[in-house]
Homo-oligomer: A and B are copies of this chain.
Amino acid sequence: MDDVVLDHHRAARTGVPEVVLGEWKTAAQIAAALTGLVARADGAGALATRVAASVAAEVVAQVPGAEYLEVARIVRVAGTRVRAVAGKVAVVAAGTSDLPVVEEAVVTAEFIGVEVERVVDVGVAGVHRLLERIERIRTADAVIVVAGMEGALPSVVAGLIDRPLVAVPTSVGYGVGAGGLVALGTMLSSCAPGVSVVNIDNGFGAAVIAARFARELAAARAGQR
C-alpha cells in the first residue's frame, strides 16, 4: 500500500491541512474533530468551516485556543508553529452582500500561508471602478473572484488579467437568482478562457486552489522546487 501514501515533502510545501466541514455536525462532533486535528497536525492549527454562530459558541468553549470568526463562519485554532507566508492571492468582489464568502476565502488562504489582497468594491455595472483597481489585482499570483446575483464579474476580470482565476458563485440573489444557480451557470459559461469554478459559497475550496498555486509558484521562484 506504500504507493497510495502522499509524498510528505510536497504536501508540507503546498500546505493544505485537513479542515472540518462544520455543517450537519453537532458542536461535540466539531470540537472532537478540531481537537483531533490539533493533536496530530504538528503545530499547524485547525479550521472548521460553515459553523453557525449558535453552534460555534459551544465549540469555542470546548476547544482550547479556538476563536470564532463570525463573518467567515469559521472556528479557528491558531497553530503554534509559525509558517512563512509565500505567494499572494487577490480576493475580488462587488460589495458587502458577498462578504461571508470573501472572508471564508481570506481566512482559509491566510491559514494556508499566503498574503491576501482584498478588492471588494468592484461590480460589473460600474466597470470603471474595476479598471481603476486592476493593477492591484495584477500583483497577485492567483485571483479569486466572488460574485452573487448575475455572477458576471469573473468574466470581466478574466479579460483584464492573465493570472489563474477561480470563480466562486454565492447564494446571494432572489427570484431566478435565488440559491446561486444563475451565478454558477454564468461562471461556467464564461466566454473568457482560464476561469475555473467551485461550488456555490465554497470560498474555502477556492482558497485552497489559489493558495496552493501561489505557494508553489513562490517556492519555484525561490529555487525550492
Interface residues of A in 166-194 (CB under 8 A from B): 166, 169, 171-194
Residues of B within 8 A of A184 (CB): 175-176, 188
Of the A-B pairs whose beta carbons lie under 8 Å apart in the complex, a sample of 17, sorted by A's number, is: A4-B127, A11-B162, A16-B193, A16-B194, A25-B97, A125-B155, A150-B189, A166-B196, A173-B189, A176-B185, A181-B185, A182-B188, A185-B185, A188-B197, A196-B197, A196-B198, A217-B225
State A189–B212 Cα separation when bound (angstroms): 20
Question: Which of B1, B3, B174, B201 makes the CB contact (< 8 A) with A135?
Answer: B3
Q: Is the CB of A131 within 8 A of B185?
A: no
Q: Is the CB of A131 within 8 A of B209?
A: no
State A134–B128 Cα separation when bound (angstroms): 13
Residues of B within 8 A of A180 (CB): 175
With A3-B132, A194-B208 given, name 19 new contacts (CB 8 A): A3-B131, A4-B160, A6-B161, A126-B159, A127-B127, A152-B152, A162-B212, A164-B213, A169-B175, A174-B201, A176-B181, A176-B188, A176-B199, A177-B185, A178-B179, A188-B197, A193-B205, A196-B206, A220-B221
Q: Is the CB of B150 within 8 A of A187?
A: yes
Q: A29-B96, A96-B29, A162-B6 are in contact. Are A208 and B193 (CB under 8 A)?
A: yes
Q: Is the CB of B197 within 8 A of A138?
A: no
| Interface size, chain A (Cβ < 8 Å) | 92
Which B-chain residue is minimally distant from A23 (CB atoms)?
B174
The answer to the question of A69 belonging to the interface, with a C-beta cut-off of 8 Å to chain B, is: no
Q: A4-B160, A125-B159 are in contact. Are A188 and B181 (CB under 8 A)?
A: no
State A174–B185 Cα separation when bound (angstroms): 11
Q: Is the CB of A186 within 8 A of B151?
A: yes
